[in-house]
Amino acid sequence: MVYWLLDIFFVFVPLSWLWIEKGLKPPLSKEKAGALLRELGLRKENAIATLKKAATLLGFLLLAAFLLGIPLTLLGLNDTALVEKTALEVLAVPLLAAYILLVRVPCEEIFFRGFLFRELSKSGPAIGIIGSSLVFALAHYGYGSIGEIIGALALGALLAAFYYRSKNLTINILAHMAYNFIIFLSLMW
C-alpha cells in the first residue's frame, strides 16, 4: 500500500503544481493534459534515437556505479549489503519487482527530474542538478546504507545532467529501468 501512496505523490504533486502554475481550470482536456506531460519532459521522439540515447545513458550509469564502487570499497563505505537484502525481498515477489521497474521508476523520474530538477533549475542548471540529486539521495536513506546514498547522489546527478541536455524524460526512464533491471539480475546470480 505504501508503494502506491508514494507513487501517487510522485505524480500528483508535479501535475498539481503545474496545474496551479499554469492557472488551468477544469475540465482537463486532452490538449491540456498533453501540455502538462510535455512540461514534465515526456516528449515524443524518434524511437531509435530515444533507445540509442537511453543506451548511452545506461552505459554512463553503469560506468559511474563501477567507478564509484572502487573508492567506496577502499574507504570501507561500500555497505550495499543492506540494499541487496531489500532488493532480494522485492525479487521474491515477481509482481512487486515488475511494479518497481514499470511504475516506480517512471514515477521517480517524473518527480525528481521532470519536476524537482525543472523547478530548481529556474535558479540555474547547477542548482537543479545538485538540489534534485540531494533529494534523490535522501530518498534512498531508508536502506540504511551510506554507499547507497552516495551512489544515489552521483547517479541522480548524472540522470539530472543528461535530462538537462536531452529535455526528454523518456530517455531517463528507459535507462533507469534498465539499470535497476541489471541490478536485479546481478542479485539473482
pLDDT band at 25 (very low <50, low <70, confident <90, very high): confident
Domain that holds residue 24: 2-188
4-8, 79-83, 144-148, 150-154: range with highest mean pLDDT: 150-154
pLDDT for 1 equals 56
Buried b (16+ CB within 10 A) or exposed e, 145-168: bbbbbbbbbbbbbbbbbbbbebeb
Distance CA 159, CA 142 (A): 21
CB distance 163 to 169 below 8 Å: yes
pLDDT for 82 equals 83
Domain count, the chain: 1
| pTM to 2 decimal places | 0.94
